[in-house]
């Protein structure tokens, strides 16, 4: 038997192979490392055929030119009556579909019969030129592996989770004598208590802001904390208790930390009752200043809870999913409830064939959603999904505890799913309106600039710098559904030959790097996709890599420079370049547009296409400014200790804890540096020499 357990590890054996087919088994020892790479999501995994194949279906069948149902028929007789995962691929090796089966033979036999319920399955089978299979021990393992592979390979005929960003958490650190409260996203690698997930970074920020008022916990970094000699502004405005300068005793501060953890752990009423009792006691003792502080803390806690909307009385920990379909699109709304509190909601718009119903989309979505996220004790659904118990068993294995999945019919839980469904309906309505408006604007854009067809990819470029320093080029991308943020790119200007402030030189470098890489990775644009494609699914692969239109911030000079670069690269004629020059007095609405072979022109002030172009340009400007500020901030906070070979995060932290600042380290003698834990005499001399080599 070949397969993967819940952790993605290979299970090796041949007991499930049909008699006489042992020679078809791949060398699992050679393939094992690559197989685990793919399942763990290595960058190269999606770019090559998966090596954890139990049977090679390409072979003679592919060489003989078999495709579609004929190919599948030739494979059925060699498949076991066992659970597993199968992949269907086209002639180019692209994965079309990943599916799991209780019995591989029975499931694949359905495809071989040539009778399909939907056009989608018919198209999928017709394009199939090869198949690959993995046998697993149980159907539960097959479900987990299927979800993992769908997320890694992103097949065009599967339901795809588009927004797969990790959720933010609140972290109260546990590796410092004065724990701090921070927003955290990513792996839980730092010691401390994590509370979440929250639906968005904004929800975390608002909650931390209120918790600072309520519990007065610090939010400064450890290095800033160690170097404070007097309280900061947050102490003055009553957002911090000042543990850095001992404005509060260590014991008193730890009491505040314990209260904050209690509140975030669901003991909010108890915490509020204790603060209220302390306020009353201070008032009776005529300590009105302390009573006022406690009153403000109570008000801050009430503010946190009032902004959480629905707070269920009978639900401690759950995720609520509701699905709504309209106009060929699907919205899935997710609400997060932890410790009896509503920690926000998020809308998802998975890519799915319009022929799939809400239950089918929701079922496929759930397995992918929890592939890399913590699973709550309870999951509530607006629609019952197929194999609901199997999904619960798979998630229970993943979470190592009992997970319940339910579709409530009455009571408070039914109210929660109804509320989530209403939010899904409204979110999808807004998206459909935006998509329709975007389509009309793109059509108007094509008519205004005389394009042969409505553009599917527009790239907008801008530069940002201060007197030539920390120069950054930015590219944003817009398409039929608005801005495509996963396609954004920034370019740190590297060339030392560019004169500081030379916008022409910066744009030249950006264009050369962008289109040289595009040529290398994708080649010249191939055949255009017809305006009315018969493809019902739009995937990342169908979104073009090449832009039809480039918008640049500049006039005739910039336009000429960009066209020259494109001509040198041999891509002239594939891309339309449009320059946007700021109007008289740099006033919005008076922009001048420049195109090759056309006189400069302006658009009417109230033209919707003009507003659309301004929005594109402003987004490019925002992204460029943000990238520049991030680079400038990184340069400003760069520590001289980072430049010393052999000084890693541990030694750097030890030096800063001992001396306070890098400047103090630079002034220290070798003997003083040697007193720092982890610093040997040789390392101390290296550090001293770094700061005194010019002396």
Domains of the chain in sequence order: 3-153 (3.40.1440.10), 168-306 (no CATH), 318-430 (3.30.420.10), 449-529+540-634 (3.30.420.340), 640-692 (1.10.150.20)
427 vs 165, higher pLDDT: 427
Neighbours of 633 (CB within 10 A): 11
Cα of 395 vs its chain's centroid, Å = 22
Q: Is the dihedral of CA 164, 165, 169, 175 positive or negative?
A: positive
Q: Can you give the pLDDT at residue 312?
A: 61
Our CA angle for 246, 250, 256, nearest 5°, is 105
Tell me the C-alpha distance between 153 and 371, whole Å: 14
For residue range 189-201, what is the model confidence (pLDDT) as tens digits? 889 888 877 877 7
Does the pLDDT at position 639 exceed 60? yes
Query: At a CB cut-off of 8 Å and minimum separation 6, what does 613 contact?
Result: 445, 551, 580, 591, 603
- pLDDT tier, 74 (very low <50, low <70, confident <90, very high otherwise): confident
- Residue 658 has what pLDDT? 80
pLDDT grade, residue 3 (50/70/90)? very low
CA–CA separation, 365 and 370 (whole Å): 9
Q: Is the pLDDT of residue 694 over 70?
A: no
Predicted pLDDT of residue 305 = 56
% of the chain exceeding 90 in pLDDT: 11
Predicted confidence at residue 510, as pLDDT, reads 87
Write down the pLDDT at residue 531.
41
Predicted pLDDT at 316: 76
Q: Cβ distance 96 to 90 under 8 Å?
A: yes
Closest to 339 in 3D by CA, of 417, 264, 256, 260: 264
Q: Which helix (H) or strand (E) holds 634?
A: helix 608-636
Give residue-wise pLDDT tens across range 216-263. 899 888 888 888 888 888 888 888 989 999 888 989 899 889 888 887
- Cβ-contact 128, 112 below 8 angstroms: no
User: Which pLDDT value is given to residue 34?
Assistant: 36
- Which DSSP string corresponds to 257-290? HHHHHHHHTT-HHHHHHHHHHHHHHHHHTT-HHH
Residue 691 neighbours by CB distance under 10 Å: 17
Question: Is 561's pLDDT higher than 90?
Answer: no
Which residue, among 356, 392, 354, 360, has the nearest Cα to 375 in the 3D structure?
A: 392
pTM of the model: 0.62
DSSP string over 113-175: T---SSHHHHHHHHH--EEEEEE-SSHHHHHHHHHHHHHHH--TTS-B----PPPEEEEEESS
């Amino acid at each position: 038997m070949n397969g993967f357990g819940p952790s993605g590890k290979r299970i090796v054996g041949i007991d499930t192979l049909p008699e006489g087919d042992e020679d078809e088994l791949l060398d699992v020892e050679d393939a094992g490392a690559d197989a685990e790479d793919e399942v763990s999501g290595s960058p190269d995994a999606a770019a090559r055929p998966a090596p954890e194949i139990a049977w090679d279906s390409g072979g003679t069948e592919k060489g003989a030119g078999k495709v579609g149902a004929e190919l599948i028929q030739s494979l059925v007789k060699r498949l076991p009556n066992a659970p597993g995962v199968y992949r269907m691929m086209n002639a180019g090796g692209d994965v079309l579909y990943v599916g799991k089966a209780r019995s591989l033979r029975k499931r694949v036999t359905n495809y071989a019969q040539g009778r399909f319920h939907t056009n989608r399955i018919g198209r999928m089978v017709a394009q199939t030129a090869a198949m690959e299979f993995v046998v697993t021990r149980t159907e539960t393992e097959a479900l987990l592996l299927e979800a993992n592979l769908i997320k890694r390979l992103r097949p065009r005929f599967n339901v795809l989770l588009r927004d797969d960003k990790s959720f933010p958490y609140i972290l109260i650190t546990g590796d410092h004598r004065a724990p701090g409260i921070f927003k955290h996203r990513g792996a839980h690698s730092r010691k401390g208590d994590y509370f979440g997930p929250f639906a968005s970074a904004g929800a975390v920020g608002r909650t931390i802001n209120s918790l600072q008022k309520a519990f007065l916990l610090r939010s400064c970094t450890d290095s800033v904390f160690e170097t404070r000699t007097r309280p900061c502004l947050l102490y003055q405005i009553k957002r911090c208790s000042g543990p850095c300068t001992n404005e509060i005793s260590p014991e008193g501060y730890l009491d505040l930390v314990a209260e904050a953890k209690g509140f975030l752990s669901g003991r909010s009423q108890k915490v509020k009752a204790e603060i209220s009792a302390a306020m009353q006691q201070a008032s009776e003792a005529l300590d009105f200043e302390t009573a006022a502080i406690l009153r403000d803390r109570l008000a801050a806690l009430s503010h946190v809870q009032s902004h959480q909307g629905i707070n269920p009385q009978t639900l401690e920990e759950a995720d609520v999913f509701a699905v709504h379909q309209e106009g060929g699109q699907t919205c899935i709304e997710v609400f997060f409830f932890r410790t009896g509190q509503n920690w926000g909601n998020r809308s998802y718009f998975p890519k799915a064939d319009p022929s799939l119903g809400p239950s089918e989309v929701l079922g496929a979505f759930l397995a992918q959603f929890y592939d890399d996220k913590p699973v709550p004790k309870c999951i509530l659904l607006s629609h019952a999904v197929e194999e609901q118990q199997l999904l619960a068993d798979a998630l229970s294995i993943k979470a190592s505890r009992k997970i319940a999945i339910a579709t409530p019919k009455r009571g408070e839980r039914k109210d929660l799913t109804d509320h989530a469904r209403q939010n899904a309906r409204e979110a999808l309505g807004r998206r459909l309106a935006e998509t329709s408006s975007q389509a009309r604007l793109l059509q108007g854009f094509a008519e205004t600039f005389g394009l042969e067809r409505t553009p599917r990819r527009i790239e907008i470029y801008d530069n940002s710098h201060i007197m030539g320093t920390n120069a950054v080029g930015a590219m944003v991308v817009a398409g039929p559904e608005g801005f495509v943020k996963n396609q954004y790119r920034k370019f740190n200007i590297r060339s030392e030959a560019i004169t500081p402030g030379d916008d022409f030189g910066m744009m030249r470098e950006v264009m050369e790097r962008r289109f040289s890489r595009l040529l290398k990775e994708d080649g010249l644009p191939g055949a255009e996709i017809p305006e009315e494609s018969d493809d019902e699914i739009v995937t990342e692969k169908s979104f073009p890599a090449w832009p039809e239109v480039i918008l640049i911030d500049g006039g005739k000079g910039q336009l000429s420079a960009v066209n020259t670069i494109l001509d040198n690269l041999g891509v002239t004629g594939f891309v339309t370049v449009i320059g946007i020059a700021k109007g008289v007095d740099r006033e919005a609405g008076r922009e001048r547009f420049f195109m090759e072979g056309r006189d400069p022109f302006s658009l009417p002030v109230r033209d919707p296409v003009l507003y659309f172009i301004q929005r594109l340009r402003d987004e490019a400007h925002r992204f460029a400014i943000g990238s520049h500020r991030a680079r400038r901030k990184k340069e400003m906070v760069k520590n001289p200790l980072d430049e010393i070979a052999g000084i890693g995060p541990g030694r750097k932290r030890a030096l800063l804890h001992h001396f306070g600042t890098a400047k103090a380290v630079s002034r220290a003698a070798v003997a003083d540096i040697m007193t720092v834990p982890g610093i040997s005499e040789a390392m101390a001399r290296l550090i001293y020499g770094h700061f005194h080599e010019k002396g």
